[in-house]
Structure 1
């Protein structure tokens, strides 16, 4: 047990060596250690500040990207709306042109039909006139075969013409 109980001399020299060690450490080691610790603390603080700035920049970039995306969507919608309006205008213009052309074609067809109808009516009248003259000629030939009937017809026509 003697080894476990320290003597006063042993305690004194241990304390002296410890104090000398503390003095040497304070003079030569504490300053570099403390400066290294301070430098490390500053580096860590700078890294934290840079990380915070990077987070803020990332947040700003994300907001800018979202804003650009919204603007692009609005521009796309505007372009699509304009394209739809242009398509509707072109379709309506085409319908109007087709309607006008159709009406012109119908009017031309009606005029052509009327012209052909008038020509057909004139042809029919001519044929009827020719046929009527031919029929009248045949009837007169049959009735006027003898001279007495011819003389009576001429006298009748003369009497009628004098009345007018």
Structure 2
């Protein structure tokens, strides 16, 4: 017998062994293998769905983060603007107060100068009057004998004379 010759007994036993192994594999191995493949397929589908969901959540979170960042930037800009306005208001108020205080000081100085000027004029009037009385007193010694009369005359003339 050669290599290419067919032996009917060998074909029978080979077919019987193949059929027996096929039946045993189908009964005991095929269902668990198919079940394992189905479970694996469901797990992969679930994982893909979870990955898509996670991707969508990440995109939502990125959008939310971007929105929050934009709001924070807007709030920061508003706060900076308010701080600048507050600073300017404080500076303007301080300038206004300083100007008001300076005006008060200037007005007070003017009033003080006016008082001192009036006092100086009164003092000068009194001195002029006293000098006039002294001169007149020397000239009219006989007529004005007491200093009380001289002072009464000085006061009278001071009331009548206006140097302003």
Matched positions, count = 139
More helix by share: 1
- TM-score, length of structure 1 as denominator length: 0.73
Superposition RMSD in Å: 2.4
Larger Rg, first or second structure (1 or 2): 1
Q: Which runs of 5+ in 2 are unaligned?
A: 141-164
Q: Can you list the C-alpha shifts for 1:99-147, whole angstroms capped at 9, x where unaligned?
A: 1221122111101101101111221232133224434555x48xxxxxx
Give 1:130's aligned residue: 130
Q: Can you list the C-alpha shifts for 1:8-56, whole angstroms capped at 9, x where unaligned?
A: 2324322321122112212222122111111111111111110111111
- TM-score, length of structure 2 as denominator length: 0.73
Q: Distance in 1 between matches of 2:126 and 2:135?
A: 14
Considering Cα pairs closer than 8 Å and 6+ residues apart, tell me whether 1 or 2 has the greater RCO: 2
* Segment drifting more, 43-52 vs 27-36: 27-36
1:1-164 matches, within 5 Å, as: 8=7, 9-135=9-135, 137=137, 140=139
Q: Distance in 1 between matches of 2:31 and 2:60?
A: 43
Q: Which runs of 5+ in 1 are unaligned?
A: 142-164
